[in-house]
Structure 1
Amino acid sequence: MIVITAPTGNIGHKVLDTVLAGDQPVRVIVRDPARLSTDVRDRVEVIQGSHGDPQVVIRAFDGADAVFWLLPPDRQAAGADEAYVGFTRPAAEAMRSQGVKRVVDVSALGRGTPYAGRAGHVTASLAMDDLIAGTGVAFRALAASTFMDNVFRQVRVIKEQGVFFDAVSPDIKRPTVATRDIAAVAARLLLDTTWTGQEEVPVLGPEDLSYNDMAAVISEVLGTPVKYQRIPGQAIKDRLTGSGTSDAMVQSMLDMMAAKDNGLDDGVARTPQHAIDTPTTFRQWCEDTLKPAVQAA
């Protein structure tokens, strides 16, 4: 039995689709089963509720061989530790009590770097990994670089203003990964019953790009000039708090951005295997994901 959390999200639904192509029974935890397609509902066992609820995860993990663990976003949390470690604690206890054999989660790069302890969301994500590892399960933490898909949030401003924004340096090259590649690695591990032990699995994507590099690629793919504009952290804070994000979660995001500018994602040496495991280039992602969205906006 494979249990998948967040099965309707950007990564979770891709994991679910791939796992359903295998021959193992699948159980999902979902707040609103109506968000699952009829075809999927007919092929999985549904546990309705939040995977932060102790009773829900106890039921869901009963007899589970493998669990895909993915946090839901919580913009109003009192802090990143609550959003990551606090939310995961009931599940960790259920993993132990229900005898779960293997767990795969989505985490972040940064472990072992000088900035890992003051990197906001990333620091909390690594603490979540430690909590899961402490249960004794076989564990793979998918240490992800920045998602290409984050650019998708700015489709309308790209179309209307020819610009996209963030608070990080325009010139520093960083690894970037497509969420579909993360999902593919997760599904492969969930379907593989042979692995043991506990490891981080870096998911870097095939190339390192700066935001200026990304703007050049977007411009070429869309056939119109698009620029990256760095904005002050205060501007991001004002926008996010204005839309309901707690001060603590905004500060956690800003701390993560600052750590990335200082080398948070540089702790893993790139190898050819990373491009094999996560092959989607930013240009390919722009061609088949961003461009159609911009045209439809």
Structure 2
Amino acid sequence: MIVITAPTGNIGRQLLPLLLESAPARGEELRVIVRDPARLPDAVREHVEVITGSHGDPGVADRAFEGADAVFWLVPPDSSLSPEEAYSGFTRPAVAALVAHGVGHVVGVSALGRGTPVADRAGLVTASLAMDDLIADAGVAYRALANPSFFDNLLEEAESIREKGVFVDVVDADRRAPLVAVADIAAVAAGLLLDRGWTGRDDVPVLGPQDLSPNDLARIMTEQFGRPVRYERQPLDELYSTLVGYGLDEAFVQGIVDMKRAKNEGLDAGAARTPATATPTTFEEWCARTLKPAVLS
């Protein structure tokens, strides 16, 4: 039995079809935890067991993990809480349930940065790494998917790119860093969940095929869209003020700002790209398939 948390999120909704394609042939049953089962596609609901509720709820986690062999763990960040409460606080009830039911394997969504000089002052990433420690210390076999920023985050910029030809971030325009497609993260997670020959604890960097800077992204988007696209760097204090103005918890916003600052100081540069850590989807491919239709619609 494999339990999937956040099955309607960006990663979960791409992970589920991969598991549904392969799990039955391996004799694996699938169970999902979801707040609103109506958000699951009909074809999915017919082939999975559904536990309704939040996977941060002790009772829900206890029911969902009974009889489970493996869990896909993803914390949906709650911007009304501090980073520690949003990650480790949310995860503690699940850890108790993992231990109580003897779950053997957990694949968690985390971040790059462990072992770098800025890991302890990287806001949300620091909180995510502490969550990894919490899970691993429970004695389960644990693989933390150590992710950089996602291509898919640019979908939030689709309107600005369409209307102004501009996308915004806070890092240096020429700083190259790994970036990855969410679909590739889902594929790595599926492989680990289905083939559980691994033991102990480890990070699994998911690095995409190449490092790219904001200026590289702008150049590729310009080529793909046939119109100019440029990068605009936003000051960190302006980002802080904007997010607090949206009503987000100030501690959580500070966690975002600290994460962004750390990324600009090399947070994502601590893992080497090898055949084992590279993933196949290029930004050009993702842009043509996903971002271009959103921008030009």
Using the size of structure 2 for normalisation, the TM-score is 0.97
Q: Could you say which residue in structure 1 is the equivalent of 2:33?
A: 29
Q: Could you say which residue in structure 1 is the equivalent of 2:270?
A: 267
Q: Which of the residues 237, 246, 249 maps onto 1:246?
A: 249
The question of 1:174 aligning with 2:187 is answered no
The question of 1:17 aligning with 2:17 is answered yes
Any idea what SS the aligned residue of 2:186 has?
A: helix
Q: Could you say which residue in structure 2 is the equivalent of 1:61?
A: 65
The question of 1:3 aligning with 2:12 is answered no
Write the distance in 2 (CA, Å) between the matches of 1:45 and 1:244: 36
For residue 244 of structure 1, report the CA deviation from its aligned partner.
2.1
Q: Could you say which residue in structure 2 is the equivalent of 1:73?
A: 77
The alignment yields a C-alpha RMSD, in angstroms, of: 0.9
For residue 73 of structure 1, report the CA deviation from its aligned partner.
2.4
Q: Could you say which residue in structure 1 is the equivalent of 2:107?
A: 104
Write the distance in 1 (CA, Å) between the matches of 2:78 and 2:215: 30
Q: Could you say which residue in structure 2 is the equivalent of 1:219?
A: 222
Over the matched positions of the two proteins, sequence identity in percent amounts to: 60
Q: Could you say which residue in structure 1 is the equivalent of 2:44?
A: 40
Number of aligned pairs? 293
Write the distance in 2 (CA, Å) between the matches of 1:274 and 1:185: 10
Q: More displaced, 264-273 or 109-118?
A: 264-273
The question of 1:147 aligning with 2:150 is answered yes
Q: Could you say which residue in structure 2 is the equivalent of 1:284?
A: 285
Write the distance in 1 (CA, Å) between the matches of 2:249 and 2:170: 18
Any idea what SS the aligned residue of 2:221 has?
A: helix
- Please tell me the residue identity of whatever aligns with 2:77: P
For residue 34 of structure 1, report the CA deviation from its aligned partner.
0.5
Q: Which runs of 5+ in 2 are unaligned?
A: none
- Please tell me the residue identity of whatever aligns with 1:208: D
Please give the per-residue CA displacement for 1:145-174, whole angstroms capped at 9, x wherever unaligned: 111111110100000000000111111100
Q: Which runs of 5+ in 1 are unaligned?
A: none
Any idea what SS the aligned residue of 1:169 has?
A: coil
For residue 109 of structure 1, report the CA deviation from its aligned partner.
0.4
Q: Which of the residues 205, 209, 216 maps onto 2:208?
A: 205
- Please tell me the residue identity of whatever aligns with 2:132: D
- Please tell me the residue identity of whatever aligns with 1:115: V
Write the distance in 2 (CA, Å) between the matches of 1:127 and 1:203: 19
Please give the per-residue CA displacement for 1:99-156, whole angstroms capped at 9, x wherever unaligned: 1010001100000011000000000000000000011111110000111111110100
C-alpha contact 2:77 2:87 (8 A) present in aligned 1: no
For residue 245 of structure 1, report the CA deviation from its aligned partner.
1.2
Any idea what SS the aligned residue of 1:3 has?
A: strand
Using the size of structure 1 for normalisation, the TM-score is 0.97
Write the distance in 2 (CA, Å) between the matches of 1:20 and 1:186: 13
Q: Which of the residues 67, 86, 89 maps onto 2:89?
A: 86
